[in-house]
């Protein structure tokens, strides 16, 4: 690993997950293998968010996000949307208009 890239700003919001034990039971598969991780996260759309702190089950690989992580995800989603509308422009807008049958 030669990556020394770090985000300049610190996230200091209190996390509701903080009081939880290091390893908790995964709601997805029921195994006690859900733990806090901090690594790159690839969204289902293929976007990569660097160093996203979240919970990941080492058994079924399900991801769980706290409020701070959700905010990052939503921000990414917003950025992507504005980028998309810039690229797709008019076409995208036209496709978004759905006529309801009268
Ligand atoms: Zn699991």
Q: How far is the CA of 71 from the centre of ligand 1 (A)?
A: 23
Neighbouring residues of 23: CB distance < 8 A, sequence distance ≥ 6: 32, 33, 34, 35
In total, how many domains does the chain have?
1
What residues in the chain have per-residue pLDDT under 70?
A: 1-18, 88-102
Q: For residue 43, is it within any domain?
A: yes
Return residues with CB closer than 5 A to ligand 1 (ion). Answer: 26, 28-29, 57, 59-60, 62
Domain that holds residue 87: 23-95
Distance of CA 11 to the CA centre of its chain: 15
Q: For residue 39, is it within any domain?
A: yes
Q: For residue 1, is it within any domain?
A: no
The pLDDT tens digits for 7-21 are 555 555 555 566 777
What CATH number does the domain containing 87 carry? 3.10.20.860
């Amino acid at each position: 690993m030669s990556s020394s890239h770090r985000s300049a700003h610190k996230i200091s919001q209190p996390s509701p997950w903080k009081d939880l034990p290091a390893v908790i039971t995964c709601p997805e598969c029921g195994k006690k293998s859900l733990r806090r991780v901090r690594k790159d996260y690839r969204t289902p759309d293929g976007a990569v968010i660097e160093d996203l702190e979240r919970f990941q089950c080492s058994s079924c690989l399900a991801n769980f996000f706290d409020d701070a992580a959700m905010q990052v995800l939503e921000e990414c989603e917003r950025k992507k949307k504005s980028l998309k509308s810039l690229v797709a422009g008019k076409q995208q807008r036209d496709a978004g208009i759905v006529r309801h049958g009268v």
